[in-house]
């Protein structure tokens, strides 16, 4: 309860000066002179009815659930500094968990070089940075398994990041970062974990690096493609660490008619000299009919393959097919209804019908 | 002879007047891209203009950020820009800027202008400002940019209030 109160206070503390996506002229002058803060919130409420009477992630029973309440602040601090923050409140097991998902202080030198410090959505692929917990932004009800919390790849990244444009003529850009590795405790995977100094309580003392290249060709709207490399060394007792290498590629066509988003990622752990490679991908198609712009049917297929003896993540192999429809209640609120079937090797298929209302405010 | 000279002069004056009227009428249906006079550009390619208006290019120079002004919803100028440059519907345009800020790609969003007069006023008085307005409403105090080498009213100019590219 205290967490909920703290979260709501944090959300409410942000000024409500800019409730629309486009600001009014009154703040044009002050934008050049001092802090100009814009607040936006996201929230979603969900319903699930499944074969096994569990939610899609298996963490709770099916039925109604409150999803995320997200408060996002972006602030121009004057000069070339800006600040971004995202605070989320989640309901898990009837407890509210407050998380500062992002807090970023950024300095822009120019379009080619911007440097920042803080906590980010890990910039490894497309979905994780494009939508994350702003579920109103994404077409579907669920995030792909590939990007769900610490399942296949890191969710967040704490450190320093440089980003910018390399070739503006073709919209080629980069993001590179150096910081803390996975927020993952290997002891949860049954491994004896300790950092290089033998500390078994704080196993996150490793550093990771990431480089992502992407292109948004200005000649065509709504097209982005790119790839990333992420390297980390997970601490594990009795080893020099477990090297983790993630390579990924994606293409996103977000012109609505059609929408095509596809991502592929390969995860490699090297444990006692043996490489364990796991792969995950998803392909999502959507189409907003020009004659009925409030309606957007969509479908997605996703799959993960992994060695059964994968030492860190365990066997992730499964697949899921889903299809649904999104209906825009207003420009800022939507209802989604979705059917999904998940398949695990050697286990019965799990079917479910899900509904969600998601909105921004 | 004097009558002949007068006839020629009259003909030239009429021709000149017709020509001005013709350019003006053509320019009146065009959309002008205007910037603060101190902005270090006189022309942009169409793709560069798209990058600026979409917030993908945020600096004219290291010390001069782009400040973007757009016309308010339902205006003919906004409809034309959404159609030709952004290639988005009004809801998509709103979602685009919400997403851009959510992704920490931009700390600010475009400022809404309720009239061409306000656009003129704010662009003229804000360093780094860029906006768009009906070419017929442009007054001194702002710089009209060439797009792909053409000014409003010239043949080959791509931005029209009639939404045709």
Q: What is the pLDDT of residue A206?
A: 75
Radius of gyration of chain B, Cα coordinates, nearest whole angstrom = 19
Of A29, A31, A328, the CB nearest to B108: A31
User: Do residues A123 and A175 make contact, with C-beta atoms less than 8 angstroms apart?
Assistant: yes
Is the pLDDT at B65 greater than 90? The verdict is yes
Of A24, A102, A328, the CB nearest to B112: A24
Q: Any bridge partners for residue B33, and if so which? A: B132
| Sequence-separated (6 or more) residues with CB below 8 Å from residue A107 | A80, A81, A114, A115, A116
| Sequence-separated (6 or more) residues with CB below 8 Å from residue B89 | A293, B82
Give the DSSP H/E element, type plus range, for residue A39: strand A36-50
Is the pLDDT at A132 greater than 90? The verdict is no
Testing the interface with A: which of B108, B115, B133 to mutate, by most A Cβ within 10 A? B108
**Is B88 in Cβ contact with A25 (below 8 Å)?**
no
Testing the interface with B: which of A14, A17, A19, A28 to mutate, by most B Cβ within 10 A? A28
The mean pLDDT value for A178-182 works out to 87
**What does DSSP assign to residue A82?**
E
| Sequence-separated (6 or more) residues with CB below 8 Å from residue A185 | A193, A203
**Is A109 in Cβ contact with B67 (below 8 Å)?**
no
Confidence of residue A312 (pLDDT cuts 50, 70, 90): confident
The shortest C-alpha distance from B79 to chain A (Å) reads 15
Confidence of residue A31 (pLDDT cuts 50, 70, 90): very low
For residue A129, count other CB atoms closer than 10 A to its CB: 20
Give the up-direction half-sphere exposure of residue A39: CA atoms within 13 A in the CB hemisphere.
13
Q: What is the pLDDT of residues A248-297, one digit of tens each?
A: 999 999 989 999 999 999 999 998 889 999 999 999 999 999 899 999 99
**Is B101 in Cβ contact with A82 (below 8 Å)?**
no
Structurally, what CATH architecture does the domain formed by B2-147 represent? 3-Layer(aba) Sandwich (3.40)
Instruction: Report which of residues A226 and A77 the model is more confident about.
Output: A226
**Is A218 in Cβ contact with B98 (below 8 Å)?**
no
Opening angle at CA A164, ends A163 and A165, nearest 5: 150
**Is B87 in Cβ contact with A293 (below 8 Å)?**
no
Phi, psi at A28, each rounded to 5° = -65, -40
Q: What is the pLDDT of residue B25?
A: 44
Confidence of residue A192 (pLDDT cuts 50, 70, 90): low
Domain boundaries, chain B: 2-147
Q: What's the distance, CA A139 to chain centroid?
A: 14
ipTM: 0.86
Of B88, B89, B111, the CB nearest to A24: B111
């Amino acid at each position: 309860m205290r967490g909920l109160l703290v979260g709501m206070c944090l959300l409410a503390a942000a000024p409500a000066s800019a409730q629309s996506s486009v600001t009014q002229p009154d703040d044009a002058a002050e934008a050049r002179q001092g802090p100009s803060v814009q607040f936006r919130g996201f929230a979603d409420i969900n319903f699930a009815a499944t074969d096994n009477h569990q939610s899609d992630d298996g963490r709770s029973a099916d039925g109604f659930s409150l999803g995320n309440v997200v408060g996002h602040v972006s602030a121009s601090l004057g000069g070339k500094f800006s600040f971004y923050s995202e605070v989320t409140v989640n309901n898990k097991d009837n407890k509210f968990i407050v998380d500062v998902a992002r807090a970023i202080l950024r300095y822009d030198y120019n379009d080619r070089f911007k440097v920042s410090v803080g906590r980010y959505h890990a910039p490894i692929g497309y979905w994780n940075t494009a939508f994350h917990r702003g579920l109103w932004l994404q077409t579907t009800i669920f995030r792909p398994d590939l990007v769900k919390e610490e399942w296949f790849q890191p969710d967040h990244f704490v450190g320093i990041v440089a980003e910018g444009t390399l070739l503006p003529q073709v919209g080629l850009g980069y993001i590179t970062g150096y910081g803390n590795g996975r927020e993952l405790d290997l002891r949860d995977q049954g491994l004896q974990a300790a950092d290089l100094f033998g500390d078994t309580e704080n196993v996150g003392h490793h550093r990771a690096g990431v480089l992502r290249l992407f292109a948004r060709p200005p000649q065509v709207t709504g097209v982005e493609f790119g790839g990333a490399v992420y390297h980390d060394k997970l601490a594990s007792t009795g080893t020099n660490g477990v090297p983790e290498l993630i390579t990924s590629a994606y293409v996103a066509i977000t012109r609505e008619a059609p929408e095509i988003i596809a991502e592929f990622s390969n995860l490699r752990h090297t444990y006692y000299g043996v490489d364990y490679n796991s792969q995950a991908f998803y392909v999502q198609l959507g189409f907003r009919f020009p004659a009925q712009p409030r309606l957007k049917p969509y479908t997605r297929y996703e799959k993960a393959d992994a060695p059964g003896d994968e030492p860190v993540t365990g066997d992730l192999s499964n697949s899921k097919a889903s299809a649904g429809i999104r209906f825009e209640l207003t420009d800022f609120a939507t209802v989604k209804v979705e059917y999904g079937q998940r398949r695990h090797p050697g286990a019965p298929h799990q079917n479910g019908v899900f509904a969600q209302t998601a909105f921004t405010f | 002879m004097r009558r002949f000279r007068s006839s020629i002069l009259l003909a030239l004056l009429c021709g000149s007047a017709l020509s001005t009227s013709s350019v003006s009428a053509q320019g009146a249906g065009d959309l002008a891209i205007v910037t603060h006079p101190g902005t270090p550009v006189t022309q942009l390619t169409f793709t560069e203009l798209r990058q600026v208006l979409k917030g993908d290019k945020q600096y004219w120079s290291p010390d001069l950020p782009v400040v973007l002004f757009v016309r308010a919803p339902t205006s003919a100028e906004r409809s034309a820009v959404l159609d030709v440059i952004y290639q988005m519907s009004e809801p998509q345009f709103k979602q685009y800027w919400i997403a851009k800020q959510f992704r920490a790609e931009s700390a600010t969003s475009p400022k809404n202008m309720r009239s061409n007069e306000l656009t003129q006023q704010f662009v003229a008085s804000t360093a780094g400002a860029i906006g768009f307005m009906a070419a017929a409403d442009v007054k001194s105090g702002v710089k009209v940019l060439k797009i792909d080498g053409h000014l409003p009213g010239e043949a080959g100019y791509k931005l029209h209030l009639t939404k045709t590219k």
